[in-house]
């Protein structure tokens, strides 16, 4: 059975894929749907949703289009989530592979580094990192990845420990391949599938962390994000609750869709292992 069919047999994975596909399509089409700066003043302030055809979701305190901000905010959330997950998986996979394959003192040293990073909660680490440096999108991505790479590292190490004694690894040693080449070319690709399944959880966590940083005013001030939109609506929560509710619902949909997609990936990989 192909990987696509295995994934299609997971209802939660299909639902998550549809949600993420919709969000990704909206994010990619943001410059077409709402060209120009979404932070510009577009109309009168605090227009309620569904009362003006020009502003279907209303405007905020400064007269900015909420729908335009929501669509452009999807780009920021997906960029941060996917980029942070890629960096975290890359760092964690390499560290975990080297630790598991080398063993001994190298394994001990690398895993103590992992422990040191894992002691500090990821959000606090990101908060401290962004507070010290100038808030920007690359800094936020790196800050979130620094708190998320330990999970992939531990999972990759566990997979490598079960792989390194297999016949094809022994054959690579016999023909004289360098240990580092064996670890990165032969072992790492076979240890990646479970780590990639974990990446969905990292994406969801990264989206939430970015929203929390933006809510606290530590996001990139030059772009619109769902966290900054929620923070903007906090001042008029009683008179215009939609300013916080609408981006909050978008955030919930993104996180739920990502988790469901991750469940589908996990089910697909587990079925593949059962058939192998």
Neighbours of 175 (CB within 10 A): 7
Classify residue 245: in a domain, yes or no.
yes
Classify residue 138: in a domain, yes or no.
yes
For residues 270 and 174, what is the distance between their CA atoms, to the nearest angstrom? 32
Structure tokens at 188: 């790492």
**DSSP classification of residue 39:** T
- Expressed as residue numbers, the domain containing 99 is 64-275
For residues 164 and 54, what is the distance between their CA atoms, to the nearest angstrom? 61
pTM (two decimals): 0.88
- Non-local (6+) Cβ contacts of 17 within 8 A are 7, 261, 264
Classify residue 166: in a domain, yes or no.
yes
Number of domains in the chain: 1
Classify residue 35: in a domain, yes or no.
no
Neighbours of 129 (CB within 10 A): 18
Along the 276 residues of the chain, how does pLDDT read in single tens digits?
566 777 778 888 899 999 999 999 999 999 999 998 999 999 999 999 999 999 999 999 999 999 999 999 999 999 999 999 999 999 999 999 999 999 889 999 999 999 999 998 889 999 999 988 888 899 999 999 999 999 999 999 999 998 888 888 888 888 888 888 888 888 888 888 888 888 888 999 999 999 999 999 998 888 999 999 999 999 899 999 999 999 999 999 999 999 999 888 887 776 555 444
In the block, residue with structure tokens 């009683």: 238
Classify residue 5: in a domain, yes or no.
no
Classify residue 179: in a domain, yes or no.
yes
Q: The domain that contains 175 carries what CATH number? A: 1.10.3720.10
Classify residue 145: in a domain, yes or no.
yes
């Amino acid at each position: 059975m192909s990987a696509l069919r295995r994934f299609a047999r997971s209802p939660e994975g299909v639902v998550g894929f549809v949600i993420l596909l919709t969000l990704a399509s909206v994010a990619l089409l943001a410059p077409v749907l709402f060209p120009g700066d979404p932070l510009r003043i577009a109309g009168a302030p605090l227009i309620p949703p569904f009362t003006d055809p020009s502003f279907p979701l209303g405007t905020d305190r400064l007269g900015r289009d909420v729908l335009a901000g929501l669509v452009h905010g999807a780009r920021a959330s997906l960029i941060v989530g996917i980029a942070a997950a890629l960096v975290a998986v890359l760092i964690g996979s390499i560290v975990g592979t080297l630790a598991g394959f080398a063993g001994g003192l190298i394994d001990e040293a690398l895993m103590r580094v992992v422990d040191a990073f894992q002691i500090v909660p990821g959000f606090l680490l990101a908060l401290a990192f962004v507070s010290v440096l100038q808030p920007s999108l690359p800094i936020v991505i790196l800050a979130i990845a620094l708190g998320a790479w330990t999970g992939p590292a531990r999972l990759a190490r566990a997979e490598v420990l079960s792989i390194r004694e297999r016949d094809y690894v022994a054959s690579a040693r016999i023909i004289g391949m360098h240990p580092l080449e064996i670890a990165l070319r032969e072992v790492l690709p076979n240890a990646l599938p479970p780590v990639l399944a974990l990446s969905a959880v990292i994406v969801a966590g990264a989206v939430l962390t970015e929203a929390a940083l933006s809510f606290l005013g530590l996001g990139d001030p030059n772009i619109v994000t769902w966290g900054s939109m929620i923070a903007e609506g906090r001042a008029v929560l009683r008179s215009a609750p939609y300013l916080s509710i609408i981006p909050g619902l978008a955030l919930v949909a993104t996180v739920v869709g990502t988790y469901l997609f991750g469940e589908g990936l996990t089910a697909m990989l587990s079925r593949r292992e059962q058939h192998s």
